[in-house]
Structure 1
Amino acid sequence: MKRPTIPDLANAAGVSVSTVNRVLNQPESVRAPTRERVLGVAKEIGFYGVGTIQHGVSAHRQTHKIGILLLQKGRRFYRNLGETMQAEVAARSNENVDLNLEYLEDLSPERVAERLIAMGNKCEAVALVAAQHPVVANAIDEVMAKGVPVASLIAPLSAQGNVSFIGLDNWKVGRTAAWAFNRIVRKPGKIGILLGNFRYRNQEMNESGFRSYFREHNSEFTLLEPLATYESAAAARELTENLLKEHPDLCGLFVSGGGITGALSALRSSQKRDDFVAVGYELFDETRSALIDGTLTMVISHPMETFARETITTLIKAKKAGADAGAQRVALGFEIHTSENV
């Protein structure tokens, strides 16, 4: 087979020969969508000058400098999320995204605010996971005052400015978890609730939806007061052990926040009961194993690839629109996992 020529590429891409020549020699004179189309077709047909086209197109793509602040890298969920964000950026062939990804080991409001401001000084749009706190809200306003839009991930955040949000509908998450207990538990009893931090608004909404379902559908369950793990696996283990010891009639545990690996260790160390239901949050290696061995009954999780794609897309849109354009809200559909579908 003869190798494709410039006329062949022009015909396949639906453009003129002169347009292909300009893409090769003067890419800045061709509209970006046309350059991208010619590049895509050149790859498909094996055009000999695809490298030249690739170089020209890449050089004239708009670059977006975005920053993302996630929680501790040692936690499997956030490490997976960060890697998925990086993969999403790498897969974007029609734009250059300069991603500044940082993991926060110190989750104090002061440290979060410090890193947010630093990220805002070098990026055009920033997203972060954080607990609601006046110090963090003030930092958000400081960043947005410089024209840099801010979006919250997983947990909604509020400030004087318009803060976008990408995450789950946590009211529905809580009600879905409650539905599972109501449908699976054989005899209503006490349910323990673990939260990561009372200031994470997604977890607060999880609990509200959880309680609202039982008020509406089954008041025979007793929902214990939520206990904060402060995102610590060790604290979650101790709290779970205490719940099992103090409430021998406990029929279930809803882990709505951080530290789930500690709660799983405590459940595995206790006497296994077929009538005990445990619902957790986020799918990763440890929770997958817990579903398989029966320690967890169900896991509600963010759809990772969709989450990453919507985050990058929202930040780019916000950057183009400007900090005063108004908040964007992207509600993701959540995934439900059991031992039968992991």
Structure 2
Amino acid sequence: MAGRPTIKDLARAAGVGTATVDRALNGRGTVREDTVRKIAEAAHRIGYHAAALIDQQIDAALPEITFGFVLHKGKQQFYQNFAKEIEAAIAARTDIRGRAIIRFSASQTPEDFLKEIRKIAPKIDVLGSSAVNHQNITQEVRQLKEAGTPTFALLNDFAQGIREAYLGLNNMQVGRMAGWMVTTAAKAPGKLAVFVGGNRWHGHELRETGFRSYVRDSAPGFTVLDSLVNLETRQLTYESTLDLLDRHNDLRGLYVAGGGMEGAIAALREVSQPHQVALVVNELTIDSRAALTDGFVTMVISTPLQELCTDMIDKMVNVVKHGSSETPGQSFIQPQVYLPESFG
């Protein structure tokens, strides 16, 4: 078309009437959202001078949603990546004007989680958290629900029966996968050890249960030692792994069900040979990837964060727009599995 595109050119390009374009440009009357989007796309395509005005009309019509998140271990690579994927999933939505408030609990205590939740609660429409299991957390979730703010349990299930849904891995399945890998990779029957973050992590308890269940049912030649609490810290895991290796010369495998895997990797590098002890960890990081390559980690079971966050934001938008479900649910994401040959 010659010269500057006119409103008639825009109407023709969008396949609508000029009156519809006029209403979309000036906010007169009601124009369906999909029609406004069609006009906006055509305006950008033909270089219509008021394309930005149509974009503003679209933005003004979109609902605003403020998403709140309280995670933990903010310095850990996995949770930094989690926060980035949350922001990306919200930015990818074209049906809302969304923003995220992301806070990190100073520790894994219920009090610190509650402190951060209460800071953001008045500002948000929906909450997602990786909080621990505790009656005070459950009570807070109940109060949020009564105030019209639904809560989603992320990675670790808490406030069952009150929270809107659990989103994450099937932790029982993850534990059984770890049990299969450790017993398959072990060079001979012997002892196995499991690290859990603490007694308030429901997800860790399920992983431990799945691990023990698999070994009991399918690998009776192995003995699972009493589980060790590492508080998801590198140093405690490091010291405990060295102690295990010193006391049990028939230690064949380790499973770190939560955080702190860097300590187990460091201990194995220090006193054992590659592939001597089968080690399964969760989440692919710089450390776990390097240990896979070097033979000190046997398998990494990883949470696909992009898929999780896309599903999570979709469910959060739905509950804000349409209300809570009468039946609290759960949504399992299939884990990603990484082996030494995954990066060949």
- Taking the aligned partners of 1:211 and 1:4, their CA distance within structure 2 comes to 70
- SS of match in other structure, 2:341: coil
- Matched pairs, number: 342
Asked whether the equivalents of residues 171 and 208 of structure 1 are also in contact (C-alpha less than 8 Å), the reply is yes
Please name the residue that 1:33 is paired with.
34
Alignment-derived partner of residue 96 in structure 2: 95
CA shift digits 1:137-178 (9 cap, x unpaired)? 111112112111011000011256243111011111111112
Match of 1:107? 108
SS at match of 2:198: coil
| % same residue | 30
Q: Which residue of 2 aligns with 1:322?
A: 323
Q: Report the CA distance shift for 1:40/1:94 in structure 2 as closer, same or farther (over 3 A).
A: farther
Whether the aligned pair in 2 keeps the contact of 1:195 and 1:228 (CA below 8 Å) is yes
Aligned-pair CA distance for 1:5: 5.0
Question: Does 1:222 pair with 2:223?
Answer: yes
Whole-angstrom distance in 2 between the partners of 1:333 and 1:45 = 43
Q: Are 1:162 and 1:324, in contact at CA under 8 Å, matched by a contact in 2? A: no
Contact 1:117 1:143 in 2 (8 A): no
Change (3 A) 1:307 1:46: farther
Deviations 1:97-147 (A, max 9, x none): 121111111322122123223322221110100111111111111211211
Correspondence 1:302 to 2:303: yes
* Equivalent-residue separation in structure 1 for 2:261 and 2:255 (angstroms): 10
Query: So what's the TM-score if we normalise by structure 1?
Result: 0.92
Q: Secondary structure at the match of 2:342?
A: coil
Say which is worse superposed, 264-273 or 225-234, in terms of deviation: 264-273
Unaligned runs of 5+ in 2: none
How far apart are 1:301 and its partner, in Å? 0.7
Q: How does 1:114-193 map to 2 (within 5 A)?
A: 114-159=115-160, 161-193=162-194
Match of 2:285 in 1: 284
Task: State the match for 2:73 in structure 1.
Answer: 72
Change in Cα spacing, 1:257 to 1:17, as seen in structure 2 (3 Å) is same
**In the aligned structure 2, how far is the partner of 1:170 from the partner of 1:159?**
15
How far apart are residue 273 of structure 1 and its match? 4.1
Question: What is the aligned partner in structure 2 of residue 17 from structure 1?
Answer: 18
Q: Which has the higher contact order (CA 8 A, sep 6+)?
A: 1
Q: Is 1:233–1:262's contact at 8 Å kept on the other side of the alignment? A: yes
Please report the TM-score for the alignment, with normalisation by the length of structure 2. 0.92
Secondary structure of 2:133's match? coil
The answer to whether the Cα contact below 8 Å between 1:36 and 1:94 also exists between their aligned partners in 2 is no
8 Å contact from structure 1 (residues 190, 221) kept in 2:
yes
Higher mean alpha-carbon deviation, 293-302 vs 31-40, is at 31-40
- Matches of 1:267 and 1:45 in 2, distance apart? 63
How far does residue 47 in structure 1 lie from its aligned partner after superposition? 4.1
1:330-341 map, 5 Å: 330-341=331-342
Instruction: Provide the rounded CA distance (Å) in 2 between the counterparts of 1:286 and 1:235.
Output: 17
Query: How many angstroms does 1:235 deviate by?
Result: 1.0
- Conserved? CA contact 2:154–2:167, under 8 Å: yes
1:251 deviates by 0.8
Give per-residue Cα distances to partners, 1:288-310, cap 9 Å, x unaligned. 22212222111001101111111
Matches of 1:115 and 1:54, distance apart in 2: 35
Amino acid corresponding to residue 75 of structure 1 in structure 2: Q
Instruction: Show the 5 A alignment for 1:251-290.
Output: 251-290=252-291
Distance 2:314 2:208 in 1: 30
Cα deviation 1:231-288 (Å, max 9, x = unaligned): 2111111111111111111111111111111222112112214342111001122212
Q: Which moved more, 1:268-277 or 1:149-158?
A: 268-277
Kindly report the root-mean-square deviation, in angstroms, between the aligned alpha carbons of the 2 structures. 2.1
Any stretches of 5+ residues in structure 1 without a counterpart?
none
Q: Which 10-residue stretch deviates more, 270-279 or 150-159?
A: 270-279
1:90 is displaced (CA, Å) by: 2.1
Matched residue type, 2:217: E
Asked if the contact 1:154/1:167 (under 8 Å) is kept, the reply is yes
CA-CA distance at 1:8 after TM superposition: 4.7
**Residues 49 and 233 of structure 1: is their aligned pair in 2 closer, same or farther, counting only changes over 3 Å?**
same
Q: Is the 8 A contact 1:188 1:221 kept in 2?
A: yes
One-letter code of the match for 1:166? L
Give the C-alpha shift of residue 68 in structure 1. 0.7
Residue 206 to residue 325, structure 1, CA distance change in 2 (3 Å): same
> Does the CA contact (< 8 Å) of 1:117 and 1:142 recur in 2?
no
Q: 1:22 to 1:253 in 2, by over 3 A?
A: same
SS class of match (1:29)? coil
- Determine the C-alpha separation between the residues in 2 that align with 1:289 and 1:60: 48
SS of 1:64's equivalent in the other structure is strand
Contact in 1 for aligned 2:277/2:296 (Cα 8 Å): no
